Amino acid sequence: MALSVQQHMDLAVQQLTDRQLEKFAKLIYDAVGVQITPQKRAMLSNRLRRRLKDNDLSCFDAYYEKLVRLSKTDAEWDQFLQAVTTHETFLFRDQAQWDWFQNEFLTERFRDSTAASQRRLRIWSAASSTGDEAFTIATCIGGKLPSLGSWKIEIVGTDIGIEAVRSAQAATFGERAMRLVPENLRKRFFTADAGTEQWTANATLKAMTRFERHNLLSPYRADPFDVVFLKNVMIYFDTPTKAQVLRNVTGAMRKGSLLVTGASEAVSSLLTGFRRVKPWLFEFQG
Ligand SMILES: C[S@@+](CC[C@H](N)C(=O)[O-])C[C@H]1O[C@@H](n2cnc3c(N)ncnc32)[C@H](O)[C@@H]1O
């Protein structure tokens, strides 16, 4: 039954109590490792109110009871996790990292002398959100390689949020997300969608990328990656979860693989078995 006007008004001002906050925080922590501190009460209350409305529920307890009864594979769990995690991202975020990627890493990697049998590059955007990071990687590669034909490029983006994964698969980005894409690359690899202020990545970029759902709390079964981008997600984890995620990520690397972290994420003390190349760049020693 739809909520009454009074129930809507009551809902609009509801804040989670300490006990409710604790219960939801535990659900979130157990599912995705993200830590919700009491300082996030207003933010979490806001985000959950939307879920209550969509479920025609008038109180947080009723929503909690609903979630714990549902299987984790139910669509409402996706919606819940989507609502309580932060998806902020945009193309060419952290310019210094893309300067390194284009001018040092790719230049070196794409040298003419590379033997045909070694012309394979695998890159993982772990916690890819709506795909902006993966499409930045693809754009840099497209801009750097005169002919993609002789290279096997695989860029895999993964995220816990199924909506984020679907959005990444659609490969469409708003003007705000596109604002730092250099004009020449924007013209070459994206098409403006008439009247919508949206840009869609072209077939060259799409052919290099694929996206799937993955929880970083579990190992990722895949051939080793040459570079892993693990950015702006570790900040939401506590130290034991960070260590667990790093173990899982390392499982998909080989000796010499590179790990790119967020520009200001303090994970270096947890990175045993890595050589620090830059404050945000680490080489796996195997
Ligand atoms: C702020 S975005 C970062 C996007 C991109 N890496 C960047 O730096 O622009 C964080 C993403 O981490 C995802 N996330 C949070 N916990 C996760 C987990 N346990 N496994 C996989 N993804 C997770 C969220 O769904 C969200 O899309």
**All structural domains of the chain with their residue ranges:** 5-84, 95-284
- CATH architecture assigned to 95-284: 3-Layer(aba) Sandwich (3.40)
Q: Residues with beta carbon inside 6 Å of ligand 1?
A: 32-34, 85-89, 93, 127, 129, 132-133, 159-161, 164, 215-217, 231-233
pTM of the model: 0.94
Distance 225 CA to ligand 1 centre (A): 19
Amino acid at 77: W
Tell which phi-psi region holds residue 129, choosing left (phi > 0), alpha (psi between -120 and 50) or beta: left
Name the DSSP class of 11: H
* 101 vs 224: CA distance, rounded Å: 19
pLDDT digits (tens, 9 = 90+) for 44-62: 999 999 999 999 998 999 9
Find out whether 169 and 161 touch, Cβ atoms under 8 Å.
no
- Overall residue count recorded for the chain in this entry: 286
Distance 138 CA to ligand 1 centre (A): 19
pLDDT digits (tens, 9 = 90+) for 199-253: 999 999 999 999 999 999 999 999 999 999 999 999 999 999 999 999 999 999 9
Beta bridge partners of 121: 153
Report how far apart, in Å, the C-alpha atoms of 17 and of each of 20, 40, 59, 72, 236 are: 5, 12, 11, 24, 22
Whether CATH 1.20.58.390 fits 5-84: no
Confidence of residue 161 (pLDDT cuts 50, 70, 90): very high
Residue keyed to tokens 């698969």: 169
Query: What is the atom index within ligand 1 of the atom nearest the CA of 216?
Result: 20
Nearest to 245 by CA among 256, 254, 236: 236
* 150 vs 110: CA distance, rounded Å: 11
Distance 232 CA to ligand 1 centre (A): 7
Query: What is the atom index within ligand 1 of the atom nearest the CA of 215?
Result: 20
3-state secondary structure of 163: helix
